[in-house]
Copies of this chain bind each other. A is one copy, B any other.
């Protein structure tokens, strides 16, 4: 082990630089530089951010401003300059960067003779095993999802149906947008932010990434997919239910029951030591056994057209993937199990829960009713 190797990570202006958040305890709206060494970690932030960075960063993190690194003027904001100054300050002999590090900065450092290479491995493999404290934070976000889900389902479930099968609440037509707004407001009451929440009915729901818009109708399957992010902690929740106001056609009800049973079958396989692919292949087999084919019709992919799930943590999609990645489940993993079926003309159904893998199997992060028909 070379004690003088350091790993540089660069936070963008995105809230998704979660490895840095995980390792440093610090996040900021503006880009900043992070250096991890075997002994101590370093942050380079603007003078404005220094106080907050010192307060929020993990113990043993040294916080510098560019001027404290001897940089001044326009040059002080340039990341290559900051890296070169920090290499000197931290006395590391060899610098590494993550494989998603910006190529432009990497090349600039090479040109200036910096001994730098790509850290080929995962930066924080430990992230996929959640600590007790993390599970509590994930549970809080998932409870927010469940609270918003219950309210969203109740709004749809209690809507009045007119002769044209349109849903109404009071004197107003009920749209995807209205349900979404109520869901987002409920999430705010739980100190979470909901963005891109899906409330999609009928054929809209057969495109799993369509958020949904416009009038909602009785008799159609309406997918609600809620993924709140805690504003305080950054941890996510993820939950999907499918509901129908009024009576569903028999083949739609059958579709729903197939998804529900398949989720249960997939969940039954979840335990430490199994390959996550097995959860996915179980879902696939169960759909096939029930006669639901996944295929391309007129250029559209129909049936079970996505993976069965993904890890949830500081990222909404993280390791382990529940699909074909070959990852082995371990106790402490937090994953979604979310099979779905999508057939234009009939409808889309997805049921998703986020579960924690336990020594004995799994448990829900937060419970929430599964009711399809709201009569």
A297 touches B (CB below 8 Å): no
Which segment of A147-155, A205-213, A241-249, A330-338 sits at the interface?
Answer: A205-213
Residues of chain A from 26 to 56 with CB closer than 8 A to chain B in the complex: 28-30, 46-52
Pick 18 A–B contacts, CB within 8 A, sort by A. A12-B16, A13-B16, A13-B317, A14-B16, A30-B317, A46-B306, A47-B305, A48-B305, A50-B299, A51-B207, A101-B102, A101-B103, A101-B104, A103-B103, A103-B118, A181-B188, A195-B195, A196-B231
Within the oligomer, what is the number of copies of this chain? 2
Given A107-B118, A118-B103, are A188 and B193 also a contact pair (CB < 8 Å)? no
The residues of B that contact A231 with a CB separation of less than 8 Å are 195-196
Contact with B along A199-224 (1 / 0, CB 8 A): 00000000111100000000000000
Question: With A and B bound together, what is the CA distance between A299 and B64 in angstroms?
Answer: 11
A177 (CB) vs chain B CBs: closest residue? B191
Name the contact of A102 in the complex, choosing from B28, B99, B317 (C-beta under 8 A): B99
Q: Which residues of B contact A62 (CB under 8 A)?
A: none
Interface membership of A126, Cβ < 8 A: no
Kindly list chain B residues whose C-beta atoms are within 8 Å of the C-beta of A30.
Answer: 317
Q: How far is the CA of A185 from the CA of B182 in the complex (A)?
A: 9
Verify if A329 is at the interface (C-beta below 8 Å from B).
Answer: no
Q: Please tell me if the beta carbons of B315 and A13 are within 8 angstroms of each other in the complex.
A: yes
Complex: A300 Cα to B63 Cα, angstroms: 13
